[in-house]
Amino acid sequence: MSRIREVLGEDPEIVLAERRYDWISKVLPKVMRGARPITLSDLLDKALLDKYLGIPIFLALWWALFRFTFDVSAPFSDLIDMFFSRLGEAVEPALGGGVLSSLIADGLLGGLGSVLVFIPPIFFLFFGLSILEDSGYLARAAFVVDKILYKLGLHGRSFIPMLLGFGCNIPGVMACRTIDREEDRLLTIIVNPLMSCSARLPVYVLISSAVLGGYAAAGIYSMYIMGIGLAIAMALLFRRVIPYFRGRRSAFIMELPLYTVPTLRSTILHMWERGVLFLKKAGTVIFIGVLVVWALSSFPWGAGLEESYIGMLGRALEPLFRPLGFDWRGAVALFFGFIAKEIVVGTFGVIFGAGGEASEEEIADVIRSENIFTPLTGYAFMAFTLIYIPCVATVGVIYRETNSWKWTLFTVLYELLLAYFTAFLIVSVGHLLGFS
Amino acid sequence: MAIRVALIGNPNVGKSLIFNNLTGGKAHVGNWPGKTVERKEGRCVYEGVEMEIIDLPGVYSLTANSIDELIARDYIVEEKPDVVVDIVDASNLERNLYLTLQLIELEANLVVALNKMDIARDMGYEIDVKALSEILGLPVVPTVATTKQGMDELKKAIIKAAQQRGRRRIRHISYGKDLEAIISTIEEILKKDRVLSSRYPTRWLAIKVLEGDEEVLRRIDRSPVKAELMEVLG
């Protein structure tokens, strides 16, 4: 087929499709008169799908979505934060000291409370995403990005699974079933976890509000862009390096729905369907994870935090993370983040909540005052969180969808290495540029 | 013997409405064998002629890339219905004709139902049905499924097409000199395989080979002309 491709200058499949459309556009004037009046939808498409404007508009809308998410949700988060603090203050004296009191105050209220604070941003993120989807823009975004993806050697159909990955990597990986070529499908599955799912958001919010100051929103936004960039880079790399992924891609055709004004009802319904998944996870996996962290940090009973089991684990892991500038607490948080990313925040909650109530504000204060992260290492920590293994559940789904331990293990390993390498690069380059 | 009629068209062209208009809404609903895609069948009697009508999945194209497209195309290629009615959205001719061209390639015995004529008119289009019919080399019947306009004409056209089956010349579109040369080279080789060329239109096979259609390539895999073909393809 390569000789024919040379003669035609392009993939025969594409040339055939083009010639069919050429034929149609030559015939149309002969059988049809009158022009369709230009609708608002056409005008919008002219701008939103423009060769040069399309991408900047996409990025601007994405940025607006994040500002909306964080600015609007902040007061709600503060309310939940306050509620858990007050509850902790009220409950602890009533229970007296001892194991039970610590379990409830530090473990449950401290750990779970610090995760539940993120209900508002997650719901608002889904609210905004639902508006973009229901209005018809998200399909256009797929179209705009597809052009780039195709040039980069990725498949156009990969975009929707990648987009879903922003919500949660599990449906993202599962949506790869719509990709018909096995090689394209597998490639999309193994880079999907690089899309920043909503579970990473709490980590970004916590760390960036603690150490990035006025640049917090930009720092969070950059994580999403970094995820996209790395996913593309990895896909390109794997296509080049791994023989299995070489080969041709098939074309991408999709119908663009008409623009509509989204109704509040359907937007809220969409938001609820997705947001509730987070609540369920908080009630199960995160709940158990946080209890494990509490137990490890409280025993041997009476010992200080640094002498507890979690302290020992942290000390053991610390040398590994030293070059990245993370201390034993960061190491432990990342370790437990393997179960689910929300537990990273929950772990900080339990560790710093040793005094009883740990509000988001207070965790951030501790991070600052104890110098756990500098702006630079904090940013590296966020990047590490973005890149390494999403969560146990995603690993399970990757195995189920690829039906191969080899590729599952490969995904876990390359992500760990990439996370480490990227964080190291951020810290090193940052130091060279004079950041601390 | 009842005339076997298959309905095909892009999604949202009013295919289900036309199916209901033709069958009176009485349909036998099941699944395509081994698939989760719905299969609807109904009957229609017009002027003493009986028609068995089957509703194919709504598709934009006839590649091997999706289950819907494969089902539609396999039905036409393997079951060879007497007449295939291609329902075309008159308000969106450009996109809809793409499927029509592929159906011509499949050498299906086609009748075009030009539906949504009312909407096309409201949008300010004026369509020359006769010219379209001449250019395509196919009977074209304007319809408005929502008000059941053109249904009798459609039934008449189906019966007429069934009677003329195999006697109509198919007007293929030209893909341009460079591509036509390649297509006819491949076609000539394929014609040497008697089994293959008696079952499928060779021009269609050649185009699909060129497109790298996995389904068709699999069928050619066992053919004695495979080696020769591979040599041409390079």
CB-CB neighbors (< 8 A) of A7 in chain B: 178, 182
How far does the CA of residue A103 sit from the closest CA of chain B (Å)?
51
**Does the structural domain B3-163 have CATH classification 3.40.50.300?**
yes
A229 touching chain B per CB within 8 A: no
Candidate from B66, B98, B125 with C-beta closest to A20 = B98
Give contacts of B127 with chain A, Cβ < 8 Å: 31-32
* Token code pair at residue A233: 């880079």
| Minimal Cβ distance to A3: which of B91, B102, B234 | B234
Is B98 close to A248, i.e. CB distance below 8 A? no
Query: What is the model's pLDDT at position A388?
Result: 92
Considering only residues 106 to 125 of chain B, which have any Cβ-Cβ distance to chain A shorter than 8 Å?
123-125
State the complex-level ipTM: 0.93
Q: What is the three-state SS of chain B?
A: CCEEEEEEECCCCCHHHHHHHHHCCCEEEEECCCCCCEEEEEEEEECCEEEEEEECCCCCCCCCCCHHHHHHHHHHHHHCCCEEEEEEEHHHHHHHHHHHHHHHHCCCCEEEEEECHHHHHHCCCEECHHHHHHHHCCCEEECEHHHCECHHHHHHHHHHHHHCCCCCCCCCCCCCHHHHHHHHHHHHHHHCCHHHHHHCCHHHHHHHHHHCCHHHHHHHCCCCCHHHHHHHHC
Looking at CA atoms only, how far is residue A185 from chain B in angstroms?
Answer: 13
Q: Tens-digit pLDDT profile for chain B (234 aa)?
A: 899 999 999 988 889 899 999 998 788 887 777 666 778 899 999 999 999 999 998 888 898 877 788 899 999 999 999 999 999 999 889 889 999 999 999 999 999 999 999 988 888 889 999 999 999 999 999 999 989 999 999 999 999 999 998 888 888 999 999 899 999 999 999 999 998 899 999 999 999 999 888 889 988 888 888 888 888 887
What whole-number distance in Å separates Cα of residue A162 and Cα of residue A160?
A: 5
CB proximity A30 to B under 8 Å: yes
pLDDT digit string, tens, across residues A10-24: 778 888 988 999 999
Cβ(B175)–Cβ(A19) under 8 Å?
yes
| Residue B211 in contact with partner chain A when CB distance is under 8 A | yes
Instruction: Give the domain ranges of chain B.
Output: 3-163, 177-233
The residue assigned the tokens 């000789």 is A3
Residue B90 CA from chain centroid, whole number: 17
A429 touches B at CB < 8 Å = no
Nearest to A24 among B97, B182, B212 (CB): B97
B217 part of contact set with chain A, CB < 8 Å: no
Query: In chain B, what residues touch A42 (CB-CB under 8 Å)?
Result: none
Query: Mutate which of B211, B216, B220, B229 to disrupt the A interface (most A C-beta within 10 Å)?
Result: B211
Separation between Cα atoms, residue A55 and residue A132, nearest integer Å: 15
Closest CB to B131 among A19, A31, A255: A31
Residue B16 contacts A, CB cutoff 8 Å: no
The residues, ordered by sequence, that sit 6+ positions from A406 with a Cβ below 8 Å of its Cβ are none
Mean pLDDT by runs of 10 across the 436 residues of chain A is 71 87 90 75 82 85 79 82 78 72 74 73 81 81 75 68 77 72 83 88 87 87 91 86 71 65 82 77 73 78 74 84 86 84 80 59 78 88 91 82 89 94 93 81
> Most B CBs within 10 Å: which of A3, A32, A41, as the mutation test of the B interface?
A32
Kindly report, residue by residue over A148-179, the tens digit of the pLDDT. 777 666 666 677 778 778 777 877 787 676 66
Annotated domain spans of chain A: 2-35, 54-432
A41 touches chain B (CB under 8 A): no
Of B94, B174, B233, the CB nearest to A24: B94
* pLDDT tens profile A219-245: 998 999 999 889 888 988 888 888 887
Is residue A248 less than 8 Å (CB to CB) from chain B? yes
Supply the pLDDT for residue B78.
92
Contact A23 B182 (CB under 8 A): no
DSSP string, A284-310: IIIHHHHHHHHHHHHTTTT--GGGSHH
With residues binned 3-state (H G I as helix, E B as strand, rest as coil), the percentages for chain A, rounded to 5, are: 80, 0, 20
Per-residue pLDDT, A248: 56
Q: How far is B147 from chain A (nearest CA, A)?
A: 23
Q: Does A32 touch chain B (CB under 8 A)?
A: yes
CB proximity A180 to B under 8 Å:
yes
The model's pTM is 0.58
CB count within 10 Å of CB A215 equals 14
